[in-house]
Amino acid sequence: MLQHAESVTLQAGLFAQLLDVLKNDGYRLIGPRVRNGAVVYDDIANVNDLPRGISDEQSPGRYRIASSGSDRMFDYVVGPTSWKRFLYPPRRKLWEATRDDRGAWQPEPAADECQATAFIGVRACEISAIRILDRVLNESAYPDSAYAKRRRATFILAVGCAVPAATCFCTSVGGGPSPEADFDIALTELGTGDSHRFVLRAGSETGRGALRRLTDHLSLKPTALQATSEADQRAVDEQVRRSVGQITAVPAMGRAREILGASLRSDHWETVADRCLSCANCTMACPTCFCVDVEDVTDLTGTHAERWQQWDSCFTLSHSYLHGGSVRKTTASRYRQWLTHKLDTWHDQFGTSGCVGCGRCITWCPAGIDIRDELATLDSEVSEEAKAT
Amino acid sequence: MGKDAMVPATMRVRRRIQETADTFTLELEPDAGTFVFEPGQFNQLYVFGVGEVPISISGDAARPSVLVHTIRDVGTVTHALSKLRKGDTVGVRGPYGRGWPMEEARGKDVILAAGGIGLAPLRPSIRHVLANRDDYERVVIFYGARTPEDMLYPKELIKWRSRLDAKVSVTVDRADRSWHGNVGVITQLVSAARTNPSNTIAMVCGPEIMMHYMQIHLARLGVPDEAIFVSMERNMKCAIGRCGHCQYGGDFICRDGPVFAFSEIARRFRVRAL
């Protein structure tokens, strides 16, 4: 029956085999690993690179990894990196040109190598973020071909969140801790020690192919991989339920558009600006922030020019530069731009919110500014004004 | 889109004209022979190794064999553009954006009001209106410059003024005694428009403060916000709604503008630093 099972359970000790299957399929593996005291996404060689026994503690302006004391591999939540880094690289050459003796030149699009890549351990909120990037970069009148190419070459191995962080609020922006769609394989980590196991569910033809190859790979050990039992399915459901229960609801998120639409002239932006360092951490950590700048460079002879694209942030003064000075000179105006764009005007532009509730902007803000609190404050201002009139 | 929209075409400078002390016009030879655009659209102009800037197209849409941009030397790239001479190569991406409502204006009175270099993006639409004069009712052109020396296209202004089928009023902020024309802000000309406010389309291009007062004065005449069109400006880097710089509320100026009906942006137009 195994060949036809929609969902299979894999002994944790054999998780390495799944990574092997992906490697044999030609994928570069990028996944979570501990570096500089944080769980970051980077190349992984094998299962030993995964953050086994690591959990994280997150709160506004604070991130610590800790030892969970178990052998589980996905008990952290999300760190400072997002998959945006690999789909939409921080720096990329767009084109180059060489000027001849007569001053003529012709731009040549830069060669853009991209390798089939498997993302290991993609959270549900991160799948939402990738879908948003698809919308922004791909589903427009001028699709970004480099993004499209990387996206097509990506295999998504998703994982459900067993232990949400205090900064998580996916459930308030239409998401949840469990991947529902747009993955190739989704896994749920259950148990520890001898009962440590993964429930694997294919979400695409590519994912089913990988699971088939895993099955073949393990055919000599029939007990290692089995159709998921009803008990395991119940355990998965229970884990999802528990996770959802641990995520604090942010009621104002549902009204974000009205709140921000009525707050353009609020004094509260100045109050936030007293704390905001305009450092751009939130936009760099955000899995959906897509602003990019271009940089024009030449070599020393001045005959070779290149144009590079690199991540930018609406928190920089140059972002709104116009002749005569930047439009958004104050931190207050820049914070307003960021929050209003993310939660309100993103809808006008792309028919969706720009926020997936991953909480990175909260954790990685050095001043500990929490968009949930700022929105709640604006909410109470707006409702008080409504009462007063 | 087979070709990468971020990679420019290259065109040769055909002619360079010094318009005022700090403003010049570049005429380019379209690489494809012709360059089709709509009045109010813009291009991204790139100078080798220096950078790229958005510049409105100020030539004649009916004459696509030459691509014309009038540019003020205010920054690094525009300064490098000012140094280009006949035969030099420029990178060009475009045309981009939503232009002036030429179709919507057919059969109506048309007010075309420009402040300073704002005449450059408006000139294609003025030329279109004057070349297709029968398509429009009353035509009124207002132009305000800082000084008589800062006036763009003075010869063309004289040509327009000499027509009996268009009213052209010019004013300057300050002038010496050799100037016999109006002195003062452009809005003081508006009451003389004598158009039918319920059948008028106004196209306004200038600094935000000028458009701000023009809207107030046009509204006083009875021109509704839906019929007042303004050309907005923000930092434009990619021109294809991807880089995020030119956001203006829920719009990307490069993609959804630069021309907007005032009614589309009325709620945010007077919010500072947006």
pLDDT (tens digit per residue) in A317-327: 999 999 878 99
The mean-pLDDT minimum among A39-48, A240-249, A295-304, B152-161 falls in A295-304
Radius of gyration of chain B (CA): 18
Report the candidate in A97, A145, A290 with the shortest Cα–Cα distance to residue B4: A145
Q: Is the per-residue pLDDT at B127 higher than 70?
A: yes
- The residue-averaged pLDDT of A285-300 equals 95
Task: Check B7 against A109: CB less than 8 A apart.
Answer: yes
Residues of chain A in contact with residue B271, where contact means CB-CB under 8 angstroms, are 264-265
Instruction: Enumerate domains of chain B plus CATH numbers.
Output: 9-96 (2.40.30.10), 109-269 (3.40.50.80)
d(CA A84, CA A92): 13
Task: Give mean pLDDT, residues A218-227.
Answer: 68
Burial class, A86, CB count within 10 angstroms (exposed 0-12 / middle 13-18 / buried 19+): middle
Q: Mean pLDDT throughout B169-197?
A: 93
Nearest 10 degrees: CA dihedral of A71, A72, A76, A78? 130
Banded model confidence at residue B2, pLDDT cuts 50, 70, 90: very low
Q: Are B97 and B54 in contact (CB under 8 A)?
A: no
* For residues A311-336, average pLDDT: 95
Interface test with B, best of A349, A350, A352 (most B CBs within 10 A): A349
Residues of B in contact with A273 (CB under 8 A): none
Subunit contact B242:A99, Cβ cutoff 8 A = no
pLDDT score at A90: 97
CA distances from B50 to A68, B42, B47 (A): 53, 19, 5
> Is the Cα dihedral A258, A262, A267, A273 positive or negative?
positive
Tell me what pLDDT residue A221 has.
63
Smallest Cα distance from B237 to chain A, Å: 7
Strand partners, B29: B12
Q: Does A140 touch chain B (CB under 8 A)?
A: yes
Cis-peptide, bond into residue B95, ω within 30° of zero: yes
* Angle (nearest 5°) at CA B205 between A318 and B132: 140
> CB–CB of B74 and A323 under 8 A?
yes
Here the contacts of A99-107 (C-beta below 8 Å, separation 24 or greater) are A99/A302, A99/A303, A99/A304, A99/A305, A99/B48, A103/B87, A103/B88, A103/B89, A104/B10, A104/B89, A105/A305, A105/B10, A105/B48, A105/B89, A106/B10, A107/A307, A107/B7, A107/B8, A107/B10, A107/B91
Residue A105 phi/psi, 5-degree rounding, is: -150, 160
Tell me: pLDDT of A13 over 50. yes
B223 to each of A59, A315, B196, how far by Cα in Å? 54, 38, 8
Neighbours of A308 (CB within 10 A): 17
Task: Provide the chain A residues 293-312 that lie in CB contact (below 8 A) with chain B.
Answer: 293-294, 296-298, 302, 305, 307, 309, 312
Rg of chain A in Å (alpha carbons): 23
CA distance B176 to B157: 20
The C-alpha atoms of residue B53 and residue B235 are separated, in whole angstroms, by 9
What is the DSSP code (8-state) at residue A331?
H
d(CA B172, CA B182): 6
Question: Would the pLDDT of A377 be above 60?
Answer: yes
Residue B273 near chain A (CB below 8 Å): yes
Please tell me if residue A103 touches chain B, with a CB cutoff of 8 Å.
yes
Confidence of residue A6 (pLDDT cuts 50, 70, 90): confident
Q: Give this complex's ipTM.
A: 0.92
Asked whether the beta carbons of residue B242 and residue A320 sit closer than 8 angstroms, the reply is no
pLDDT of residue A312: 97
pLDDT value at residue A5: 56
Per-residue pLDDT of A123-181, as tens digits, reads 999 999 999 999 999 998 899 999 999 999 999 999 999 999 999 999 999 999 999 99
The distance from CA A376 to its chain's CA centroid, rounded to whole angstroms, is 24
pLDDT of residue A77: 95
Which residue in A290, A294, A336, A352 has the most chain B C-beta atoms within 10 A of its own C-beta, making it the best mutation to test that interface?
A294
Nearest chain B alpha carbon to A146: B4
Residue B64 · residue B95 · CB < 8 Å: no
B1 touches chain A (CB under 8 A): yes
Q: Residue B153: how many CA atoms within 13 Å on its side-chain side? A: 28
User: How far apart, in whole angstroms, are the C-alpha atoms of residue A24 and residue A10?
Assistant: 19
Could you tell me how many residues make up chain A? 389
Task: Determine the pLDDT at residue B192.
Answer: 86
Q: What does the alpha-carbon distance between residue B230 and residue A267 come to, in Å, rounded to a whole number? A: 29
| Nearest by CB: B271 against A104, A264, A341 | A264
Q: Which residues contact A143 (CB under 8 A, 6 or more apart)?
A: A137, B1
Note whether A137 contacts B242, CB cutoff 8 Å: yes
| pLDDT at residue B1, rounded to an integer | 38
Distances (CA, A) of A19 to A29, A160, B78: 8, 18, 53
**CB–CB of A202/A185 below 8 Å?**
yes
Taking CA–CA distances from A300, the nearest residue in chain B reads B49
B268 CB within 8 Å of a chain A CB: yes
pLDDT digits (tens, 9 = 90+) for B67-81: 999 999 999 999 999
> Could you read off the pLDDT of B200-235 as tens digits, one per residue?
999 999 999 999 999 999 999 999 999 999 999 999
Q: Taking the CA of residue A260 as centre, how many other CA atoms within 13 Å lie in the half-sphere pointing to its CB?
A: 26
Copy the structure tokens of residue B241.
């709604």
pLDDT at A60 over 50: yes
Phi-psi map region of B19: left, alpha, beta (phi>0 left; psi -120 to 50 alpha): alpha
Name the least confident of A102-116, A270-284, A365-379, B157-171: A102-116
